[in-house]
Structure 1
Amino acid sequence: MSVFDDLVGQERAAAVLARAASAAAEAVAGGRGAGMTHAWLFTGPPGSGRSTAARAFAAALMCPDRGCGHCDLCHQVAIGSHPDLESVRPQGLSYSVKQTRELILRAAGAPTLGRWRVVLFEDADRTTEAAANALLKAIEEPPPRTVWLLCSPAPDDMVTTIRSRCRLVTLVTPSAAAVANVLATRDSVPPALADFAARAAQGDIERARRLALDEEARRRREAVLSIPVSLSGVGECISAAERLVKTAEEEAAAATAELNESETAELRKAYGEGSSGKGLNKGLVRGGAGALKELEDRQKSRATRIKRDTLDVALLELVAFYRDVLAVQFGAGVVLANEDRRADIDDLARTTTAERSLRRIDAIMQCRERLAANVNPQIAVEAMTLDLRP
């Protein structure tokens, strides 16, 4: 058993990381450690398992047996409690230079257990320009036992200077069969449901797991895929856009409400709210007004990100639907991602042209670009649904 066994369909990347872990163990023992470097960049499409691969490599670096998968150190890395692992995932739309500098200071310390100090930075492409510059300096001049593991969808999402100083690990989209096998063996999902979820998720392992285990996720997918056949007029287009945006807002609110409340309560308590003593409560709460405002800004940014990510998942579902339509129109002998919507796909394939299908896919991708550029979601999605009309 190895920590790399969890990397579904990533045999080549797993072999590279296993060899590097062996080199790292050699370096710890006083050898050259050829093949080990201090900065790594994990890239791959959504759902390919970038952070999973990075975490597995972190466990292999910490483990005396190079990632056995069953010792206490491997378990601590898996759950994020290892004292020498700094795990970061930007919760908002971006990661600021202030946060990056604080992270660099934490990463500069010597390893507690004597092997490596590892920084696992998910969504590293969300760093601001100033933050990227600060990160570059840390990667250029790292402490001798600090290893940076950066995760990004594509190499080009990171600035060239950072990319050139990292060893690249490229992950691929796992096959539907591999994903279905994982769902059936590890999550005890019935084979038919596992096959459906794997096809619908198009290789995105986490998305497939949600579809297989969460009935609400399947319901939301059905609502999205019913849109193409419902756009008979302008009114229907506006209503469909409103439903998409409202669903994203509700999901963001549900995902953040409890966390926001607990964070705010903890901050108020830290600044003395509820404390006894003359003048103590009022003075400390007033002193924490700036910190409270900063927290509220972070919470709004986090909610916006969740809303945007939820919308993006829906848009990618629509892209997959029209891509299936295009495959039928060209007579391609491929397995459709949305085989369960075969009747709707065949109907659109008969009544529209391949050129029209391509234009619809372009309209969805343009909507994604507009949302990334902070265009009002309602306006961006309405423009898209109008372009999707028959």
Structure 2
Amino acid sequence: MLQGAVTDPAQMTHAWLLTGPPGSGRSTAARAFAAALLCPDGGCGTCHECRTALDGTHADVTVLATQGLSIQVKDARELAQLAQHRPSVGAWRVILVEDADRLTERAADALLKALEEPVARTVWLLCAPSVEDVIITIRSRSRHVRLRTPPVAAVADLLTRRDGIEPAMASYAARAAQSHVGLARRLARDEGARTRRRDTVLLAGRIRSLGDAMEAAADLASIATQEQSSSSAERDGAEKARLLEQLGADPEARTQPPHIRSQVAALEKEQKTRATRFGRDVIDRSLIDLLSIYRDALITRSGSDVELVNADLAEQVGSLAQMLSAEQLLGAMDAIGTARERIEANVPPLLALEAMAISLRLPR
């Protein structure tokens, strides 16, 4: 569909909505589409236009990828203004919003006029997990392209061919990541990530009492805290040092002038928001991992000929399938889904995890 739009102007439209589950390659597909639109050969992948478009450094490609909880209205207004300008060097001005599901209602309203009254040679590429995640006024003015999750074998082959990972490890990582390419690469390379995932999945067999439930919830929350601290501490310090350098401030000074303090405070607020978002994403990924063992147990109990996500934990999967009925397994999966929805709706993560863990207690 995207290639047809590149080659046939009649198939082109001013706004595209690319949806698909995590790891399906929404952003990758959007960047490739942008490169093909700007490439004189329709997407050769090697020319200057293709390489800069794929990197997000092309003069006519603007990428908005928020690491915060939401896309703010000021960012949306800047994009709407930019959309009015003609492309500077290429055939199209491409505006890529990687997390369109994080548009607040006011931010979506700021984009609405630009989408309702499109400018010639400007194209919007919006990415989101599903159509339902995008505000209806935005999705109703976009052409929808749904991406599917790649097969496990294809992800494993990519890891082996591109990243030089051993076939057995690549197969395990692709299966455990449920075909999420980025996560599969991390699992294949990071033993700590594999250990944390295994500990998370095995929680299903540990929760027997109220105390076990509270402990399991605390463990899940602590995993997010550890990941958050390790990933953000060094980056936050570097960002602050760079800001002080740009402002000509002395980083060793005990106090700073008011105008510098205000900018440092704004940076710290942004970093805190980013850390909150990252922590939630880590917890959500952990819940997807936990969900996988109940899914495997349900498949085992029903006798379906479907590959297990946790094939390396077949004994634990079989034990869970014996202890819980199909209805109980579905109830556990619903409890995990409810926890994910609550955390996304700003319920304190630990509170949502505790309520979930209580529902996951095994029968005596």
1:242 has 2:218 as partner: yes
Counterpart of 1:130 in structure 2 is: 106
Listed as ranges, the gaps of 5+ residues in structure 2 are: none
Counterparts in 2 of 1:1-390, with a 5 A limit? 16-23=1-8, 33-274=9-250, 285-390=257-362
Q: Distance in 1 between matches of 2:316 and 2:55?
A: 43
Check whether the contact 1:272–1:284 (CA below 8 A) recurs between aligned residues. Answer: no
**In 2, distance between residues paired with 1:115 and 1:345?**
54
Query: Which stretch of structure 1 is more off in the superposition, 284-293 or 165-174?
Result: 284-293
Could you tell me whether the CA contact under 8 Å between 1:132 and 1:159 is conserved in 2? yes
Q: Deviations over 1:333-390 (max 9, x none)?
A: 1111110110001111112211111111111111111111211211211221221111
State the SS of the aligned residue for 2:11: coil
Cα deviation for residue 58 of structure 1 reads 0.6
Question: Structure 1: how far apart are the matches of 2:308 and 2:106?
Answer: 43
SS of structure 2 residue aligned to 1:40: strand
**What TM-score, normalized to structure 2?**
0.94
Q: String of CA shifts for 1:157-202, please: whole Å, max 9, x gaps.
A: 2222221211111101111122222222222222211221222122
AA aligned opposite 1:48: S
RMSD of aligned residue pairs (Cα, Å): 2.0
How far apart are residue 284 of structure 1 and its match?
8.3
Q: Does the Cα contact within 8 Å between 1:89 and 1:123 map onto a contact in 2?
A: yes
TM-score scaled by structure 1? 0.88
2:247 and 2:26 mapped to 1: Cα distance? Answer: 38
- Secondary structure of residue in 1 paired with 2:306: coil
The answer to whether the 8 Å contact 1:272/1:285 transfers is: no
5+ residue gaps, structure 1:
1-15, 24-32, 276-280
Asked if the contact 1:136/1:162 (under 8 Å) is kept, the reply is: yes
Following superposition, the deviation at residue 138 of structure 1 comes to 1.4
Amino acid at match of 1:21: V
Residue type of the alignment partner of 1:22: T
Query: Which amino acid counterpart does residue 308 of structure 1 have in structure 2?
Result: R
Provide the identity percentage. 48
Q: 1:98 to 1:283 in 2, by over 3 A?
A: farther
Query: For 1:219 and 1:112, how far apart are their aligned partners in 2?
Result: 49
Are the equivalent residues in 2 in contact too, given 1:86–1:107 (CA < 8 A)?
Answer: no
SS at 2:125 equivalent:
strand
Q: Distance in 1 between matches of 2:174 and 2:305?
A: 18
Contact 1:107/1:117 (8 A) holds in 2: yes
Give the whole-Å Cα distance in 2 for the aligned partners of 1:269 and 1:191: 46
User: 1:267-297, CA deviations, whole angstroms, 9 ceiling, x for partnerless residues?
Assistant: 334444239xxxxx99983124433333222
Is the 2:79–2:111 contact (alpha carbons within 8 Å) kept by the matching residues of 1? no
Tell which deviates more after alignment, 366-375 or 331-340.
366-375
CA contact (8 A) 2:210 2:358 kept: yes
**Residues of 2 paired with 1:155 and 1:145: CA distance?**
25
Q: Deviations over 1:220-254 (max 9, x none)?
A: 11111121122232222222211211110121122
Secondary structure at the aligned position of 1:287 is classed as: helix
Shift of 1:83: 1.5
Q: Is the 8 A contact 1:268 1:285 kept in 2?
A: no
Aligned 8 A contact 2:6 2:36 in 1: yes
Separation (CA, whole Å) in 2 of partners of 1:382 and 1:284: 43
Distance 1:104 1:266, change over 3 A: farther
The answer as to whether partners of 2:60 and 2:90 remain within 8 angstroms in 1 is no
